[in-house]
Amino acid sequence: MATDTHLTATGNLTADPVLRFTGTGTAVASFTVACNDRRKNPTTGQWEDAGTLWVRCTAWDRLAETAADQLTKGTPVTITGHLRPDDYERDGIKYTGFQVQLSGISRPIRPTSAASASTPGPAAPRWPSGAHEAANGPQTAVQRLGPTPF
């Protein structure tokens, strides 16, 4: 029995998405997301880069068109999709790589840094439990691209 490998990763686009169309007019966009692995050094207590994973992505149909329209190089995104093998040949040598067939793309909402929080100005309101949701609706961890969820 084959299993379907799902992948969710967060990183930044390494270049603008490339949008193409198949012979039947189906949109397909491809781009690469660089996902940096950060770890806290137990000796210094500082966060350090521990390597980068380059994730090749392919989006189809409306998701492809939306990605090409709204994403640019450097955009932080969270991608979700299915990991697929990608066999190819270069200079007579056969290679197997992997790519993610996307089912969703979102933009992560990042908290402000401690440095920006220390600048003078009004303090952010501290909401009692449930008060923020009552006033502003539920908080979400991502901002969806486009007018409707993917």
> What Rg do the C-alpha atoms of the chain give, in angstroms?
19
pTM summary value: 0.66
Question: Which tens digits make up the pLDDT trace of 61-114?
Answer: 999 999 999 999 999 999 999 999 988 898 999 988 899 999 999 988 767 665
Using CB atoms within 10 Å of the CB of residue 11, give its burial: 0 to 12 exposed, 13 to 18 middle, 19+ buried.
Answer: buried
Classify domain 6-114+126-144 at the CATH topology level: OB fold (Dihydrolipoamide Acetyltransferase, E2P) (2.40.50)
Q: What does the pLDDT read at residue 48?
A: 87
Tell me what the mean pLDDT of segment 12-21 comes to: 97
Strand 93-108 relative to strand 47-60, pairing: parallel
